[in-house]
Structure 1
Amino acid sequence: MNDTPWLEKKAWAKNQITSYTKIQLIISYVFSVIWSWICYGLYIKRDELLANASEEPAVYLLLLFPLSLIAILFQTYKQYSLWRTIGPMPLSLDPFPGAIGGHVGGKIACKLAHHSEMSARVKLLCIKRTHSNNSSNSGVREHVEWENDGVCHVQANSGGCDIRFRFDVQEGLPPSGRVENSKTNVIWRVELEIDDKIQRLYEIPVFESGEKSQHICHGTETYEATGFAAGEALSGIAQLKRTADKSTIYFAPFKRPLNGVLLVLIGVLFASIGIIVDMNDAPMIFGIVFPLIGLGLALAGLQYLGKALLVTIDSENLKSQRLYFGISFSSQSLPIKDIQSFYLKGGATVSYGTKTTTYYQLFTVGKNAQKYRVAERLNSRSEANKVEKTICEIVSAYKR
C-alpha cells in the first residue's frame, strides 16, 4: 500500500494546485464554436425560414439564437480577459496534504491588486460522489459529508496579493480517493469567491495525519471578519429583538426566495403545458396529470415563500411558532430548564456553476429527545454557527 498516494497525482505532486478555470475556458470555447456553426446554418437558410414563419410562428424563436450567441461570446471573452489579468491562481496547501484531525489550509497567489475593501470568501467541502450504472438508477450522485466556510485573510504583496485560509478538520471524516469495495469517490473541494465576481474551484488532497499548519497562524472559522459577514447575512433573513423580559428571533417570509420562485414557475409551466395539450386533442390523461403536478409544485413554492418562524425565549420557556403569510399554524413550547443541546441539520444542497450551497436548520433538543426548530434558511455553516452561538448565549443568560 502506497503511503503517499497524493504524490501519484500529477496535479497534486508539486503542491501547486490549479483551479478548474482553464478547463471551463476550453469548454466555453468549444461551445461557442458549435453555437456559431448552428447560427451560421440558420443564416444560410434565413429566406426559407422566414417564408415559413407565417404558417409556423414558432420559427421566429430561432431568431433568438443569434442573440444568445452574442451573450455566449461576450461571456467567453470576459472569462478569457479575467484569466489573462489574474492568472491561474495556484493553491499551495499548508500542511501538504490537508490533514484530517488537524488543519486544512493554504495560500493562493493572486495577481489582483489588493484594496482596502477586498473580500475573499472560501468554502471547504468533503463530498461523496457515487456512480450508479444500474438500469433503474444511472448517473452520478453527490452528497456533502462535511463543510465549513469563512472569510480569508488577504495580504498585499509586490505582485498582487496572497489569500490565506485554514480550517480545523475533525477526526473520522473520509480521506480523498475511492472508498474501498464501492463505487464512491471522496472529493475534498475548495471554493473561492473574490469580491462576488471571481470564482475558483480546486480539488485538493486530504488524508488522515493530524498535521498542523506551519505558516498560517489564524483559523478562518474563528476570524473576526467571518463572524461579521455571517451576522450581516443573518440580518437579511432574521430580526433579533432583546429586552430584559424576553428575546425574539423572527425568520420572516419571502427571504431567500429563489427555491420558492423556481417551484412556482415550474408549476405554472407544467399546468400551462397540460392546458395546451388538452386544447389540441391530446389524450385526456395529459390534460389532467400535468395541471395537477403543476398545481402541487406551485402550492409547494407558495408554501416555501410564505412560511415564517418566530422563536421567543424568556426566563421560563422557549417557544417556536410556525406561521404562513403572517397566520400562526402551530407552536411548540419547551421549558428552558429542559434544554439539553442544539442540533444542526443539513438539508437540500444546490450546486450552481462553481458554487455549492447547503441549507441548514437548527433545532434544540429537550429532555424527551424531541426536537424544536429554532432557525431555518441558513445557507452557510458560518451562518449556522453564528445563530447557534447567539441562541446559546440568550438561553444561558435566562438560565442563570
Structure 2
Amino acid sequence: MKGKIVVTLFALPFFAVGVWMLWSISNTLFDAWRMQDWAAVEASLIRGGYESNSGSDSDTYEAYAEYSYSYGGERYVGDRVSLSRGGDNIGGYQQETGRRLQSKAASGSKILVYVDPGAPHDSIIDRRVRWGLIGFKSIFVCVFGGFGLGLLIFVWRAAPEKDASRSEYKNSPWLLNENWQTATIRSSSKTAMWGAWAFAAFWNLISAALPFLVYEEVTRKENYLALIGLLFPLVGLGLLVWAIRRTLEWRRFGAAPVTLDPFPGSIGGHVGGTIDLNMPFDPATRFQLTLNNLHSYVSGSGKSRSRKEDAIWQDTLVAHAEPGASGTRLLFRFDVPEGLDASDAEQGGSYHVWRLNLNAELNGTDLDRDYDIPVYKTAMQSRHLSDRTVQKARAVQSVIDDASVGEIIRIRQHASGRQLVYPMGRHAGPSLGGVLVGAIFAAAGWYFAVEEGNRIFGGIFGGVGTLIGVFCLYLLLNSLEVSKQAGNIIAVRRLLGIPVSRKQMHQNSFERFEKKSTLKTQSGGKHIIYYSVSAIDRQGNEIVVGEGFRGESEAKAAMRLIAKEFGLREVSNRDLSHDLDAVSGNPLAD
C-alpha cells in the first residue's frame, strides 16, 4: 500500500496538468461557441500593443488593448483581446495582433468588437479559435494527463504486493511474479503493440505543430534552415507505420503463449516447451528461437538516468514445427550451462532476466515475439519433450551454424598445411557504427574544449570518443590467420596486413576449447553476442583460434570445424586421469 501511495502522489501532478489544460481548451471552445451570437459594434481604441516577458528558457508575448464602445445607449470600456487570456509564443499571433492594435490606436481608427447582448459589459476583439494553441494545449492533455491517468490506473489495478518472506515464495520465488503462476506464459507482444501506439501518439502530438511553424519561418522569414524541423513529423509517420505493423502482427498470430517444460526453466538443465501458433502448418517455414540471459540495470544519474540491458549468455536453435490444435505447434529445448544468474521475479533496480525470442520471416507480416520467462537453478530436465524431436531440431540448427561458420572462416591450403583466415572487415557493421559514435563524441569534445573553453568536460568527451574510435577501427582493420605447421597450431594477428602478434601451441599439448564473449550489439530489445574461440593447453596457456561467431551454437560449430581441420581432440577428465596414472605408475590404471 505504501508503494501505491508514493506512485499516486507522483502521478497526481501530471494528471492535474492534463485536467487543467483540458478545462482551458473546453472553456475556450465554449466561449467561441457562445460568442457567435454576440453583436458587432464599432469601438474607439484608447491604447493597444503587446508586452514581452523574458523567462529562463524563452520569451512570451501578450497583446493588450483598451477600447470604449456604446451599446443600448450606455457607454462601456473593455480590454479583452482574444479567447485565450495570458501570453504565449505559439506562432506570431500575439506580436502581429499587438502591432495592428498599436497602429490603429496611433491613427485613431475605429475597430470592430463583439458585445454580449445579455451582458454588454462583456466584449472581445477577436473571437476566432487559435487552433495552433489548442493543439499545443492538447499535447499536455494527452502526454501529461494521459501519463498521470495511465499510471494511476496501473498502480491501483495492480495485484497486491506479495510477502517474499513467506515459505512458499522462498521455495518457489518465481511465484512472486503474477505472470509466472503457471507454466503457460504470454508474450509481451500486446504490451509492445500498445506501447508502440502510445509512443507514436506522443511523438506525433509533440511534432504536430511543427509543419505550421516551419511554413511560417520559411514563407515570412525565409529561414530555410527551419526545414530540418520537418524531420520530426517524418519520424512520426515512421512510428505510426511501426505501430500498425505491431498491430497486424498481434492480429495475425494472437496471444501465442509458451508452455514451459520444465517449469520453471532450469540453469544446469533444460529450458524447453511448446508454442501454439494461430497459423496453418507449413513444413517449409523456419522458426528461429533465441534464448538470452540479460542483466538489466539503471545507468547515469539525475535526468540522464536510463535503463540498459547487457547480454550475458545467448543460444539459438530452430524449433521443431508440427501440426497443432491451433494450426502450428512448435517444440524446442535449450541446454543451459551452470554458472548463470537466475531470473528476478520482483525486478528491482538491478536484476537478471531470461528472454526468449521467436522469429520467422513470412509472407506479409513477420512473426516476432518476446517472452520473459522464469529460469532458476533447479537442474531440472524436460519430461514431455521427445528426445528424437529435440535432436532433429538441433541437427537442423547445426546445419545452419555450419553454413554460417563457413561464411566467416576462409579455408586455404598452402604448402605446410591448412590455414583458417578471418579477414579484415568481418565486423564491418558494428565497427563503422562505433567509429561514427566515436567521431561524434570526439567532435563534441573538441567543441567544448576549443569553442566553449571547458577543457575538462571536452577532454572527457574527446577521450571517450577517441578510445571508441580507435577500438572500432582495430576491429575493422585487423585479421587473424590460424594454421598448423609441423605439429604446431600457429595464430598470427595482422593489422592492415602487417603482423602484430604471433602465438603457437603444440598439437599434443592441446587440452580443450574455450569460448568467450568479445563483442555485444543491441538494436531495440534484440541482442547479439559475438564469441571468440580459444585453444587451451595443459599448462593453461591459450591462443585465439577463431572469432566473430554469433551465439553459443555457432561458436560450438566453429569448435567442431577447427578441431576437424587441425586434427584436435578435446581431452576429457578421464583422459587426464589416465595420463596422470600412467606417469605415476598406478597399477590400477585401465
Q: Where on the TM-score scale, by shorter chain, does this alignment land: which range? A: 0.7 to 0.9
Match of 2:476 in 1: 305
Matches within 5 A, 1:1-400: 1-2=167-168, 3-51=171-219, 54-55=222-223, 57-130=224-297, 140=307, 142-157=309-324, 159-177=326-344, 184-195=350-361, 197-218=366-387, 219=390, 223-241=394-412, 246-273=417-444, 281-283=451-453, 285=455, 289=459, 296-396=467-567
> In structure 2, how many angstroms separate the alpha carbons of the residues matched to 1:207 and 1:276?
49
> In structure 2, how many angstroms separate the alpha carbons of the residues matched to 1:52 and 1:235?
61
Q: Which deviates more from structure 2 when the two are superposed, residues 43-52 or residues 303-312?
A: 43-52
Cα deviations by residue, 1:306-337 (Å, 9 ceiling, x for unpaired): 11111002451100011123332221121212
> In structure 1, how many angstroms separate the alpha carbons of the residues matched to 2:426 and 2:282?
31
Q: CA deviation at 1:347?
A: 2.6
> In structure 1, how many angstroms separate the alpha carbons of the residues matched to 2:408 and 2:339?
33
Higher-RCO chain (CA-CA 8 Å, sequence separation at least 6): 1
Paired residue total = 395
- Asked if 2 retains the 8 angstrom alpha-carbon contact of 1:52 and 1:59, the reply is no
Q: TM-score, normalised by structure 1?
A: 0.86
2:269 is aligned with what amino acid?
G
Q: CA deviation at 1:294?
A: 5.0
C-alpha spacing 1:184/1:225, structure 2 compared with 1 (3 Å): same
Residue ranges of structure 1 left out of the alignment (5+ in a row): none
2:438 is aligned with what amino acid?
G
> In structure 2, how many angstroms separate the alpha carbons of the residues matched to 1:215 and 1:151?
19
Tell me the secondary structure at the aligned position of residue 177 of structure 1: coil
Which is higher, the Rg of structure 1 or of structure 2?
Answer: 2
C-alpha spacing 1:174/1:67, structure 2 compared with 1 (3 Å): closer
> In structure 1, how many angstroms separate the alpha carbons of the residues matched to 2:503 and 2:193?
52
Q: Which deviates more from structure 2 when the two are superposed, residues 266-275 or residues 287-296?
A: 287-296
The alignment-based identity, stated in percent, is 24
> In structure 2, how many angstroms separate the alpha carbons of the residues matched to 1:128 and 1:298?
26
Q: CA deviation at 1:117?
A: 3.0
Q: Which deviates more from structure 2 when the two are superposed, residues 238-247 or residues 286-295?
A: 286-295
> In structure 2, how many angstroms separate the alpha carbons of the residues matched to 1:184 and 1:9?
16
- Asked if 2 retains the 8 angstrom alpha-carbon contact of 1:126 and 1:186, the reply is yes
Q: TM-score, normalised by structure 2?
A: 0.60
Q: Which deviates more from structure 2 when the two are superposed, residues 60-69 or residues 270-279?
A: 270-279
Kindly indicate which of the two structures has a greater share of residues assigned to strand: 1
- Asked if 1 retains the 8 angstrom alpha-carbon contact of 2:448 and 2:455, the reply is no
1:283 is aligned with what amino acid?
G
> In structure 1, how many angstroms separate the alpha carbons of the residues matched to 2:214 and 2:299?
44
- Asked if 2 retains the 8 angstrom alpha-carbon contact of 1:125 and 1:189, the reply is yes
Residue ranges of structure 2 left out of the alignment (5+ in a row): 1-166, 571-590
> In structure 2, how many angstroms separate the alpha carbons of the residues matched to 1:238 and 1:149?
20
